[in-house]
Every structure is written in structure tokens, then in C-alpha cells.
Amino acid sequence: MLKSVPGLLTIALSIGAIATPTYAADIFQGNGSSVFVMTNDNTKNEVLTYQRSHNGQYELRTRTATDGRGSGGTTDPLQSQGALALSGDHNLLFAVNSASGTVSSFHLLGGIPVLVDKESSGGAFPIAVTEHNYTVYVLDAGGAGAVDVFKADGLGRLHEVPDAKVFLTGTNSGASSISVSPNGKWLVVIEKVSNSIDLFPIHPDGTLGTVVNNKSVTPGVFATVFTPNGQLIVSENQPNNGTDTSSISSYTINSNGTLAAITQSLPTYGNGNCWNAITPNGHWVYVDNSATSSVAGFTVGANGSLTPVASTILSTLREGTTNLDMTVSEEGKYLFTLDSGSGAISVFTINSDGTVNPLGDIEGLPKTVGFNGIAAL
């Protein structure tokens, strides 16, 4: 564990030592306009913070070390969604260090992450993290596969919950996604190898009950996101034995942890749909068709039903792009995709009808380095 941080004043004074601004501070809007990307570097993992300047362009503001090592690699080495995650109140940021077997936590000041703590993930090869009411769940994909549980304090220091670790249903099962229902009653984990959607009941103290293993009727499950009403949306990267084979489904969670389909296997009209992001108001969900370099969008009904936005494909990215993890800003105005192959982050404005307009790219990322994880304020 890192040395304890006694207060916010200490955190504020440490910003200069941890992350040096690239541009003059007075040109940035500060709060409410930050995009975070994890480098996943196998020597020195870092979080890159981009902020929007008064000219409307996102610029690199800081590089903040996680005090851990990522997996390295080229394109999508973690094969997960959620390697970088914000707390529900947007005061904390969490990052996994897969090669180190640790998770790092940051306190956000003016949209700038300040490293507060680093703890063992409790297992092998952590690939995703999520939080609900300051209970933090870390997903380990290596070995037996497990979820470990921590409590975060107000500064972001992590305290492991004793005897709270739970194991997945199989060894090296290809875990790829972890999420918590809005009411805090269910934790959902995807296991790709068995094509499973695992649901763990969450006890009042944040610990987990016995897993309920749901086999997806659609192949290629990868990532999950919840609607504000508690329906579960699942991205499905179906085997590429044809063109435009990927799909998306939505489910209701029954009281016993089984799933009831609402919309089943709706086409995304592309291949490689592995990531998704929902707007804060729950009206739209977007997916990355990474193998065909496109973004698709869907309207989410009050009951969780999905219908295409416009022609479903809302944007096609530059040739050679493998668009990976994606996120929506906290006010719901912007959509961001992490683009391997082109070395950029694509930025879109979200219109009132759910369509998107390209705002431009954040340039300057390496084209073939294993970046994974994106989050935004």
C-alpha cells in the first residue's frame, strides 16, 4: 500500500510532482471536461488526461503514473471493458495494472488524477474494475479467475474486505467485463470462453453471494452496461463467419439471478462489437464495431428494449482503425472511442435524436501500442 495521504491539501500540493501540465492551466476549463486513457505500458503504466481548451480542442494535460505495470502488447491485449473506471460520484478513478497484479486509485482534483493508493488485486492478471457506493470490485482474468472486493474511503484509499473474494466458474475463462446494477443488488461478470453471463448477488456489506451462471443464447458475449432502470445490455462479438454478424441484447434480471431477454441479438451491422457505452439519461447506447471500424447506436426504451438510431451505423472511422473501448461524458454531450491503428481518440457530439457528429480526433497516441481503458468526466 502507498503511504497514507492525510488530506486533500496534501493531494493538492502533490499534483505538481505527480503530473506536470503540458499546457498553460488558464486555457483549460477544468472540472467537467476531462478524458482519461490508460497506456497499459508494461514498464510504467500511466493515465493520460486530456482536457478541453477554450478553443474546443482536447489537449494532453498530464501523464500520471499508476505505480504499476500493464500488460504491454499491441491492439487490445487485455480484451476487456473497464480497465479504467470512475466512481459514481466522479471523485475517484481506478486503474488495473495487469502485469503487477494490482489496482491503483486516484483522487480527482479539477479533473486531474492524483495517485492515492495501490493494492494487490488479490489474484492474477486484473483486467477490469468497477465501483458502487465506494465498494470497489476488481476482476482477475488469470488463473482461477476471481473478483476481489475493497472499500474506498473519501480520498480513494483502498481497504480489502476480509474473506470477500469469489471465484469464477472456470479457470482461464476469458473474463472480460464487470459491472454493478444501479440498485447495488447484482454484480455481473462476463466469461467469454463459456459464453456466460455470471450474476453475483451483492450483500448489504458489499460481499458477494453464490454465482448464478447464465449461458447466453447468442455467441460472443463480451461487455455489459446497465440502464438507469436496471436492465442489462450485452455486446455480442459473434464469430466472424460472415459480414456484419455482431449484435446487442438487453435483459431483465429476475429475483433469482436468471435473465429474461427483452431484445435478443439485434444486429449492429458490423463485426467485432466488443464495447458499449450508455448516456447518463439512459436514452441511447453506443457500440464499437472494431473489426469494421464503425460506431452503431440504439435507442433504449423505458423497459430496456432496443431499437436502431437512424441507420444504426452512425459513423465510420478512418481506414485501419480498430476502435476499442468507448465512453460517454458525464453530462451526456460527448462520445469518445479509443482508436488503435490510427493513434487517436475519436470525439463525437451526441445530438438530441441520438445521432452523433464527428468533432475531430485527439491525435498523438502511438498507433500500435496496447492502450486499454477510457473514461470521461
pLDDT digit string, tens, across residues 211-250:
999 999 999 999 999 999 999 999 999 876 666 689 999 9
Average pLDDT over residues 18-46: 64
Q: What is the pLDDT of residue 285?
A: 98
Residue 259 CA, distance from chain mean position: 22
Q: What is the mean pLDDT of residues 80-85?
A: 98
**For position 13, what pLDDT does the model report?**
37
Bridge-partner residues for 97, per DSSP?
102
More confident residue, 18 or 123: 123
- How far is CA 106 from its chain centroid? 16
pTM of the model: 0.92
- pLDDT on residue 97: 98
Cβ 23 vs Cβ 59: under 8 Å: yes
pLDDT tens digit sequence for 199-209? 999 999 999 99
Long-range contacts of 225-228 (CB under 8 A, 24+ apart): 225/179, 225/276, 225/277, 225/278, 225/285, 226/179, 226/180, 226/181, 226/182, 226/188, 226/278, 227/182, 227/278, 227/282, 227/285, 227/300, 227/304, 228/182, 228/280, 228/281, 228/282
Name the residue type at position 358. P
Angle 268-272-274 (CA atoms, 0-180°, nearest 5)? 85
Average pLDDT over residues 286-311: 97
Q: What is the pLDDT of residue 241?
A: 65
List % helix, strand, coil for the chain (3-state, nearest 5): 5, 50, 45
Q: If pLDDT is split at 50, 70 and 90, which confidence band does 369 have?
A: confident
Q: Identify the pLDDT of residue 366.
A: 83
Superfamily of domain 118-376: YVTN repeat-like/Quinoprotein amine dehydrogenase (2.130.10.10)
User: For the chain, what are the domain ranges?
Assistant: 118-376
Helix ranges, the chain (H): 8-18
